[in-house]
Structure 1
């Protein structure tokens, strides 16, 4: 099972690798910079090399870097869109120190400009920042549909991917809390949801899973993660998710409201039911 959680970069890359091993994780997610934005720390190449040694020695799955929440490439503010472009350019340059891994971002909110223009602006940003030499796969995250979020349906994600010239560098990160809140019934019809994803986007584009329970009921269009088994999705449904033939070989990333001991407990519980 390829599973990890969100770890803090505060003590460096090697420390994240060691912390992952300590909780029986074989991958992890991290923010590229402060989740509310701002300048990223300078890369310590020796620290990165130490992490790469851990990743290689312990056969880690792909690592997942997460863009800051403030990134909004389809904002109605030109300065906000420019910030998103600059951050993504910088993040993808920095990700070359960790080649062959994943970079995830929330598509953004169109702020009452309409979904069509929102998608157009997201595509414009991606076409500006993606380069043929990049060795990182950029993931669009499925969203819950709160407010004016783009990416609440598989069709919206497909339209973004189709508009990107280097679409071979694009993929999707499916967030279980978000899709459930958006109205995809992964509790009672997981096969149907995945068949729909496959028919619209293609399962080959699904590269990672954010594994979260939901504090809110089905189709609530909210975004409140809950600990595994303590929300409206429930442990039995999550057990089916991690064992599904279309998903079981993907990397799973916990973003539940936990500290490290809680993540360790969840990883232990999920490994115990993984077949």
Structure 2
């Protein structure tokens, strides 16, 4: 089953976002839990959420992906920023208990000169403090492109974070095609090898979502610049090979390309036309 969608706004509610998804041929979508630059989250409309649950069931939606704000940096070198990240993270997890979404993705953050090991230590401290047995959401670490002092730019760093989380059964990974290509994983010429490397280090059983993006920059440039599908250095052929790879079947794909609804509809249609059931 191909589950594919894009990033949609929930400013008008989940039901409206669900209708937008259907209008572009999607059967899932990603959304920010609050303003991507942080701040207070909008009060949940439980009636709207109930209507949306019915819409999901009627149209056989796949898993939704909630995305934490970009300002969430668990491994910052300032305590105030880390406290903010912890507060947002904990609040989001509580709110997601009422939303029909079981995946929550976040950027591991930037260690800002403290070093990767210290960054991992700070991330793990917050995860272990906030995660509870009763949470019904799987927390996804997003693999990053390697710009600046980002943590989580290779499989080994992500694996170390997961291994040090007490409730590791609640952890998963979101793979971003632009990010890992920019970080040096050649998914154009060596897709099978990259997937096998991921499986041997982290395990495909914890790969829960894929951000499907082309890249404005070549392999190994450590730049986080997404491109429209087929117009970047990955190219349409490589994207289609990823979507059709037998080891990635049934993992939901989410477009984060620089497009509006109409453009995402064209991308989704193009991918569907090249998808092998």
Range class of TM-score, shorter chain: over 0.9
2:248 maps to what in 1?
Answer: 247
Match of 1:225 in 2: 226
Cα offset, 1:198, TM superposition: 0.4
Counterpart CA distance in 2 for 1:63 and 1:266 is 19
Q: SS where residue 246 of structure 1 aligns?
A: helix
1:147 aligns to what?
148
Tell me the equivalent position of 1:61.
62
Query: What's the offset of the Cα at 1:185?
Result: 0.4
Do the aligned partners of 1:145 and 1:222 also contact (CA within 8 Å) in 2? Answer: yes
Q: How does 1:71-86 map to 2 (within 5 A)?
A: 71-86=72-87
Residue aligned with 1:55, SS: helix
Once residues 28 and 20 of structure 2 are traced to their aligned partners in structure 1, the CA distance between those partners, rounded to angstroms, is 10
TM-score, normalised relative to structure 1: 0.99
Instruction: Say whether the 8 Å CA contact 2:66–2:101 is kept in structure 1.
Output: no
1:165-217 CA distances to partner (integer Å, 9 max, x unpaired)?
00000000000000000000000000000000000000000000000000001
CA contact (8 A) 2:53 2:100 kept: no
Provide structure 2 residue ranges, at least 5 long, that are not aligned to the other structure. none
Whether contact under 8 Å (1:100, 1:135) holds in the other structure is no
1:168 aligns to 2:158 (yes or no)? no
Q: How many residues align?
A: 275
The answer to whether the Cα contact below 8 Å between 1:211 and 1:252 also exists between their aligned partners in 2 is yes
Q: What is the DSSP-based 3-state SS (H/G/I as helix, E as strand, rest coil) of the residue aligned with 1:139?
A: strand
- The answer to whether the 8 A contact 1:110-1:118 is kept is yes
Distance, in Å, in 2 between the alignment partners of 1:22 and 1:263 is 10
Within-5 A mapping of 1:180-195: 180-195=181-196
Match of 1:106 in 2: 107
Q: CA deviation at 1:40?
A: 0.3
SS of alignment partner, residue 246 of structure 2:
coil
Instruction: Tell me if the contact between 1:138 and 1:170 (Cα under 8 Å) persists in the aligned partners.
Output: yes
The separation in 1 between residues aligned to 2:61 and 2:10, in whole angstroms, is 18
Residue 248 of structure 1: how far off its partner (Å): 2.6
Tell me, yes or no, if the aligned pair for 2:153 and 2:180 is still in contact at 8 Å: yes
Report the counterpart of residue 17 of structure 2 in structure 1: 16
The CA deviation at 1:246 is: 1.0
State whether residues 100 and 137 of structure 1, in contact with CA within 8 Å, keep that contact through their aligned partners in structure 2: no
Contact 1:241-1:248 at 8 Å conserved across structures: no
- Counterparts of 1:59 and 1:130 in 2: how far apart (Å)? 29
1:56 is displaced (CA, Å) by 1.2
Which residue is equivalent to 1:200? Answer: 201
Instruction: Provide structure 1 residue ranges, at least 5 long, that are not aligned to the other structure.
Output: none
User: How far apart in 2 are the matches of 1:127 and 1:177?
Assistant: 29
C-alpha distance in 1, partners of 2:202/2:72?
Answer: 24
Deviation at 1:98, TM superposition (A): 2.0
Residue aligning to 1:259: 260
Hey, what's the Cα distance between the residues in 1 that align with 2:155 and 2:243?
A: 20
Q: Distance in 2 between matches of 1:43 and 1:105?
A: 21
How far apart, CA to CA, are the structure 2 residues paired with 1:211 and 1:129?
29
Q: Are 1:99 and 1:135, in contact at CA under 8 Å, matched by a contact in 2?
A: no
How do 1:119-134 and structure 2 match up within 5 A?
A: 119-134=120-135
Contact 2:3 2:250 in 1 (8 A): yes
CA drift at 1:59: 1.1
SS at match of 1:199: helix
